[in-house]
Amino acid sequence: MPAPTRRARAAKSTQPISVVAGAAGFLGSHLTDLLLSRGHRVIGLDNFITGAVDNIAHLGGNPNFKFIQQDVTEFIFLNEPVNYVWHFASPASPVDYLEFPIQTLKVGSLGTHKTLGLAKEKGARFLIASTSEIYGDPLVHPQTESYWGNVNTIGPRGCYDEAKRFAEALTMAYHREHGVPTRIVRIFNTYGPRMRLRDGRVVPAFISQALTGKPLTVFGQGTQTRSFCYCSDLIEGIYRLMMCEDQTANFPVNIGNPSELTMLEFAQAIIQATGSKSKIVFKPLPQDDPKQRRPDITRARQLLADWQPQVPLAEGLEKTIAFFRGKV
């Protein structure tokens, strides 16, 4: 085999290298796909508590993808350069973090510490996938990044909310103390293919109920609101945030879709999109369930080259429902 040319060696040496913690998860796998499509070499980390091999199986044999099965709460050793560290490792649904409350707190604290340590050692830029849950049951609507939140620290959702709030604080501490270039994205409700059928979030719950002819479970009177962003729109915004050179980009940025629906309206949209004959049933509202959730994305639009969601709800639901038809 002929030796690589000087140009080939130069191209390889300048290829950006990204570490994605949580690479086998719903969002982590979509991020990995985008990074590979944009010329990155990706090192994926996951311990499969909530991730799935199926989400990254299509990457088998890809020379630009390497996978390491690891819990990121433990020391991360990589004997190679790294340009970007993306911390997406965490249970992210009520079913998951109620089943794994301690693991959720550990990955938000120890996992953030270890991934930040990797970024510091390698001189890499770091991004933490935070959440709209840090706003709790908000008293401000829509939610801006300057809002400090209304969180029940000892409630059943506290393990997730406080893990992410701590992760944000630690990220800013590393930025201020060690000069690590950091990014914090606050992710609002996102949906799309590769969500787990029974992960407890409303999109897979409603779709699976509709596809199997079961009643759709709406909590309370269904007047609580959510906004839903399709996964490709979210990942594009997150990518732009990591690459943004603005001096204020180290402060939190909301990324989501500001189009707002009540849960009752959303249930009706799912029934229509699936062609289901399912009815809607009402059950008591869970403790600390937010009454309103809608991002103010003014800051994202200003920082991220006029980024805004592109995929209409009907189109996103069509793709998501097609994925779930093969799972029920």
Unique residue bearing structure tokens 């049951």: 137
Cβ burial 3-39 (10 Å sphere, 16+ → b, else e): eeeeeeeeeeeeebbbbbbbbbbbbbbbbbbbbbeee
Distance CA 229, CA 250 (A): 23
Could you say which of 84, 97, 135, 160 is catalytic? 160
Distance CA 33, CA 51 (A): 15
Single-letter amino acid, residue 188: F
SS (H, E, C) 68-114: EECCCCCCCCCCCCCCEEEECCCCCCHHHHHHCHHHHHHHHHHHHHH
Distance CA 264, CA 203 (A): 13
Per DSSP, the residues of 248-317 read TTTS-EEES---EEEHHHHHHHHHHHHT----EEEEPPPTT--S---B--HHHHHHTTT----S-HHHHH
Closest-CA residue to 27 (of 90, 69, 82): 90
Neighbours of 267 (CB within 10 A): 25
Closest-CA residue to 53 (of 194, 162, 201): 194
Q: Residue 160 catalytic?
A: yes
Please list the active-site residues: 160
